[in-house]
Amino acid sequence: MKTGLQKFTEKFVEGLLFISGSITSLAVILIVLFLFKEGWGLFNETPVEKGSVIALNKSNPVQQLSAAQVKNIFDRKITNWSEVGGNNDSILIFSVNDITNFYSEAELGDSLQFVPQRISELMGKKSGIIAFLPTEYLAKNFEGRILPLKKITLKGFLKGKEWFPTAQPAAQLGILPLILGTLWVSLFAILIALPFGLATAIYIAEIADNRVGKILKPVIELLAGIPSVVYGFFGLIVIVPLVQRTFNLPVGETGLSGALVLAIMALPTIITISEDAIRNTPRAMKEASLALGATHWQTIYKVIIPYSISGISAATILGIGRAMGETMAVLMVTGNAAIIPHSILEPMRTIPATIAAELGESAHGGLHYKALFALGCVLFVMTLVINLTVDLISARKKYSK
Amino acid sequence: MAKDYVKKPKVMAKEVNLYYGDFHALKGITLSMEENHVVALIGPSGCGKSTFLRCFNRMNDLIPNTKVTGLVMVDGKDINDRGMNVDQLRKNIGMVFQKPNPFPKSIFENVAYGLRVNGVSDAKFIAERVERSLVQSALWEEVKDKLKKSAFELSGGQQQRLCIARALAIEPSIVLMDEPASALDPISTAKIEELIYELKSQYTIIIVTHNMQQAGRVSDKTAFFYMGELIEYDDTKIIFTNPKNTRTQNYVTGRFG
């Protein structure tokens, strides 16, 4: 018989477990919600920072410009309004500093009090003008027309090919190079790590005698405990020069260097999980194979690997997940050029490295800040997909006896 | 009976001792078996009967720290000899395990496995042999339309008959069975026993069993093991009706074990 006190203690412990479980879940959900709330704010913004506007002459028929068009205009790659759907009129770029080219100091006033007025006049006079102005220089009866900019869209964000979040006047927020950089580096890391990892796992589980296994396994698990900045340092000092010399490159900080460092970092995950899967092969199944006259090797590749293939795939995908989210080591060795990669021997920039490198210098709540959060959401979705795939694979085939 | 003694023994063990580390698992076992006989090994759990069975295809090699002394002869050859090709030996000896243990492959590939690992690649030959083995193990009628399906879709009894078919496909002359029906229901058990009876004409069968009635039904000779020793080995009829040793008598009449 249970006494009242025992019952109470049981209920109390149950309650404690329930509370700690709910708090943890709630914290995770809140973090994800916060990430998406901050990130989603990006899609209500235009690519021009608050406090500045882009203005045109009133007669200019152009209704809207995209961030890329603005950038090309200010980079003087587009020089005629007809290229962006306007009249055949050459573009005159104007910013506040250029005012002295048009007016004398006397006309601007002693303490520059007439500047907004003069800018307004100028905007009215020149038909081909485009101006990038801080809002405090807008006169009350402004004679130009403030150009509404296209809002940033999810599609443009994901498919944009240029990442210049601090560019003036319009930030270029295209993350395709970052997504591709992440995928290239992770994929190559796995291509390098998988053969070594699988071979080591098979060796430890099947071939090595117990004593060797007992030494080797802790050493491999030790790899997982080394801080990633140490890997990055090692990569910078050893792998980067090695890659540079081997392929005779101008710089050694390439996707390949990152992939090599990540491969070493993903090895413990791949080895431990595959080894467990291989060890889980029932002894009876191995014996059945051997009893039919199969050699040890035939047994390994015809029975043991097919039996443990779901565990091995899970290990691989978890390894990819680890590689994708890894920040520090990659930041140190990949060169961080935000350009669409064409070969693994080019500098690349990954999503986590971008966030780590740029979040400190972005203004809280600003465009850049929101863009980095949105980038975090993209990474979150990528790793989520990977984790779901692991669950799917490990649930797919549960061989019963 | 006298004629039997003239026959060469198919399988022979002489003064076999086996140690797992410090544990003395088999103590000086000597017995011989004739061709086309079924020999049952009985005894309480841990008496060494399975260990003894595994001596004949050197399955004990897989367990670390195992040492075997004495002589084990199969077809007149010392199988523990250094020059013995173990894979070749195992090809000649089929084995059926306690629990059904099909490979994670199709029904067809399970039976074809032994042929494939032994270098047979002629598809027609393999298909014929697979069919014949499945017919022999009385499974063909049940699986002929789903050979491509996973072996795990079969019932436990069917899986065990599949494992027998797999063992027969390599055309062994000896079949070792380690409690082949212990994990099965009575109907599947009856089928397996029937099968053993039919296979006797072509194979020498050594079967380990916990089930005394089963030993009585299927075997020609019975060996009673106790604590790593062979207590008594004789015709099954004698062991079950008139054993010479009192321990044997106590065991077969159910007084211990």
- How confident is residue A393, by pLDDT bands cut at 50, 70 and 90? confident
Same domain, A320 and A241: yes
- Residues of chain B contacting A400 with CB distance shorter than 8 Å: 152
The answer to whether residue B163 is domain-embedded is: yes
Q: Are B113 and A285 within 8 A, CB to CB?
A: no
Same domain, A184 and A88: no
The answer to whether residue A160 is domain-embedded is: no
The answer to whether residue B102 is domain-embedded is: yes
Angstrom distance (rounded) from CA B32 to CA B74: 10
Pick the residue of B91, B98, B103 with the most A CBs within 10 A to test the interface with A by mutation.
B103
**Residue stretches of chain B with pLDDT short of 70:** 1-7, 256-257
Angstrom distance (rounded) from CA A214 to CA B214: 44
DSSP state of A41: G
The answer to whether residue B150 is domain-embedded is: yes
Burial of residue A354 (number of CB atoms within 10 Å: 0-12, 13-18, 19+): buried
CATH of the domain at A56: 3.40.190.10
Same domain, A247 and A385: yes
Decide if A290 touches B, using CB distance below 8 A.
yes
Same domain, A212 and A352: yes
Residue for token digits 């290229």?
A: A83
The answer to whether residue A380 is domain-embedded is: yes
Same domain, A185 and A327: yes
pLDDT, one tens digit per residue, over A209-265 is 888 989 998 999 898 889 999 999 999 999 999 999 999 999 999 999 999 999 999
Same domain, A145 and A287: no
**Distance in Å, alpha carbon of B89 to nearest chain A alpha carbon:** 7
Same domain, A76 and A219: no
Joined tokens for residue B213: 């009635």
What does the mean pLDDT of chain A come to? 89
CATH of the domain at A319: 1.10.3720.10
- How confident is residue A167, by pLDDT bands cut at 50, 70 and 90? confident
Tell me which chain A residue has its CA closest to the CA of residue B57.
A291
Angstrom distance (rounded) from CA A352 to CA A330: 9
- Residues of chain A contacting B99 with CB distance shorter than 8 Å: 284, 401
Residue for token digits 């961080």?
A: A336
Residues near B206 by beta carbon (within 8 Å), at least 6 away in sequence: B11, B33, B38, B39, B41, B53, B56, B174, B175, B176, B177
* Closest by Cα among B242, B212, B248, B243 to B230: B248
**Distance in Å, alpha carbon of B28 to nearest chain A alpha carbon:** 25
A396 has pLDDT over 80: no
- Residues of chain B contacting A284 with CB distance shorter than 8 Å: 97-99, 101
Query: Which A-chain residues 149-208 have CB contacts (< 8 A) with chain B?
Result: none
Residues near A85 by beta carbon (within 8 Å), at least 6 away in sequence: A61, A62
Residue for token digits 């990152």?
A: A258
Angstrom distance (rounded) from CA A78 to CA A76: 5
Tell me which chain A residue has its CA closest to the CA of residue B104.
A307
Residue B254 pLDDT: 79
Residue B257 pLDDT: 52
A296 has pLDDT over 70: yes
When CB atoms are compared, the residue of B91, B99, B114 closest to A284 is B99
The answer to whether residue B104 is domain-embedded is: yes
Same domain, A95 and A229: no
- How confident is residue A47, by pLDDT bands cut at 50, 70 and 90? confident
When CB atoms are compared, the residue of A287, A303, A399 closest to B59 is A287
Mean pLDDT calculated for residue range A270-292: 92
Tell me which chain B residue has its CA closest to the CA of residue A307.
B104
List C-alpha distances in Å: B90 to A131, A287, A288.
88, 11, 10
Angstrom distance (rounded) from CA A166 to CA B58: 73
When CB atoms are compared, the residue of A292, A307, A397 closest to B170 is A292
Residue range of the domain that includes B114: 93-171
**Distance in Å, alpha carbon of B163 to nearest chain A alpha carbon:** 9
What is the domain count for chain B? Answer: 1
Q: Are A293 and B118 within 8 A, CB to CB?
A: yes
Residue A401 pLDDT: 34
Question: What ipTM was reported for this prediction?
Answer: 0.88
When CB atoms are compared, the residue of A210, A292, A401 closest to B90 is A292
Joined tokens for residue B74: 């199969």
Same domain, A195 and A146: no
- Characterise B34 by phi-psi region: left (phi > 0), alpha (psi -120 to 50), beta (else): beta
**Distance in Å, alpha carbon of A280 to nearest chain B alpha carbon:** 13
A23 has pLDDT over 90: yes
pLDDT, one tens digit per residue, over A57-104 is 888 888 888 888 888 898 888 888 888 888 888 888 888 888 888 888
Of A117, A151, A185, which residue is a domain's last?
A151
Angstrom distance (rounded) from CA A69 to CA A76: 10
Angstrom distance (rounded) from CA A269 to CA A136: 56
Mean pLDDT calculated for residue range A174-193: 93
Same domain, A263 and A221: yes
**Distance in Å, alpha carbon of B90 to nearest chain A alpha carbon:** 5
pLDDT, one tens digit per residue, over B233-242 is 999 999 999 8
Decide if A288 touches B, using CB distance below 8 A.
yes
Residues near A44 by beta carbon (within 8 Å), at least 6 away in sequence: A151
What is the domain count for chain A? Answer: 2
- How confident is residue A2, by pLDDT bands cut at 50, 70 and 90? low
Burial A183-220 (b: 16+ CB within 10 A, else e): bbbbbbbbebbbeebbebbbebbbebeeeebeeebeeb
The answer to whether residue A163 is domain-embedded is: no
The answer to whether residue B4 is domain-embedded is: no
The answer to whether residue A1 is domain-embedded is: no
Q: Are B87 and A400 within 8 A, CB to CB?
A: no
Same domain, A145 and A198: no
The answer to whether residue B255 is domain-embedded is: no
Tell me which chain A residue has its CA closest to the CA of residue B114.
A292
* pLDDT above 70: percentage of residues in chain A: 98
Joined tokens for residue A194: 């998988």
The answer to whether residue B118 is domain-embedded is: yes
Q: Which amino acid is at B43?
A: G
Angstrom distance (rounded) from CA B4 to CA B27: 27
Angstrom distance (rounded) from CA B52 to CA B49: 5
DSSP letter string, A48-85: SPTTEEEEE-TT-----B-HHHHHHHHTTS--BGGGGT
Residue range of the domain that includes A247: 176-396
The answer to whether residue B60 is domain-embedded is: no
Mean pLDDT calculated for residue range A383-388: 90
Same domain, A268 and A329: yes
Mean pLDDT calculated for residue range A338-346: 90
Specify whether the CB–CB gap between B40 and B86 falls below 8 A.
Answer: no
Joined tokens for residue B87: 């894979």
Residue A399 pLDDT: 45
